[in-house]
Amino acid sequence: MNWDAIGAIADLTVEISVIASLAYVATRIRPNTRASALQSKLATAGTLSEFVDMLITDPELNDIFMRGRASTESLSKEERQRFSNMVMNTFWICSSAHFQLRTGTLSEEDWLDIKTTLDYWIAGAGVRAWWRRHGHESFGKTYAAFVDAEVARSAANSGAD
């Protein structure tokens, strides 16, 4: 046997080994990716659910939420602070989900579930006013630009602001 043939067989053996190794790694990564995506989805949904549960069980907090979402003008100074904290909390949750979408750990379909919540909040004139006054500067550029566009779209759809 000549050395060229031996070299070709060695190269082929190495290539087959590399392909087999990559296939093995792929079979191990896929379940981990699914588990990570599921964990992200459940964590985000759980956090939003806890927040809604607070509104359900605390009529005073729900009243602040409803009035503030429409306009913060009717809120006392203390109520405006509570409302601001509620909005900030929700935008943090949505920011986290938006990051997960961008990094591929949250699917587009699962993101739409979260975005529906964000759209509901942004539809309120009080929330849009809060975003312009406080929120825009409180988040990273990518998320802030996304929400800016959503706020502009919502304001245009409502014919307000």
Q: What is the DSSP code string of 8-35?
A: HHHHHHHHHHHHHHHHHHHHHHHHHHHH
**pLDDT-based confidence at 80, cuts 50/70/90?**
very high
> Are 98 and 108 spatial neighbours (Cβ–Cβ below 8 Å)?
no
Domain of 74?
Answer: 37-158
Structural domain total, the chain:
1
The neighbour count for residue 136, using CB atoms within 10 Å, is 15
Give the end-to-end CA distance of the chain in Å, rounded to a whole number. Answer: 83
- Rounded CA-CA distance 5/22 in Å is 26
Answer yes or no: is 26 within a domain. Answer: no
User: pLDDT tens digit string along 33-49?
Assistant: 666 666 766 766 676 77
Nearest residue to 98 via CA among 82, 81, 119 = 119
Answer yes or no: is 9 within a domain. Answer: no
Answer yes or no: is 58 within a domain. Answer: yes
Radius of gyration for the chain, computed over Cα atoms and rounded to the nearest angstrom: 25
> Are 68 and 83 spatial neighbours (Cβ–Cβ below 8 Å)?
yes
User: pLDDT tens digit string along 88-132?
Assistant: 989 998 998 999 899 888 889 889 988 998 999 999 999 999 999
Answer yes or no: is 72 within a domain. Answer: yes
Per-residue confidence (pLDDT) for residue 37, from 0 to 100? 62
For helices 3-57 and 77-103, give the axis angle rounded to 10 degrees. Answer: 160
Answer yes or no: is 147 within a domain. Answer: yes
Asked whether the predicted pLDDT for residue 66 surpasses 90, the reply is yes
Answer yes or no: is 145 within a domain. Answer: yes
Answer yes or no: is 14 within a domain. Answer: no
Nearest residue to 117 via CA among 40, 62, 48, 38 = 48
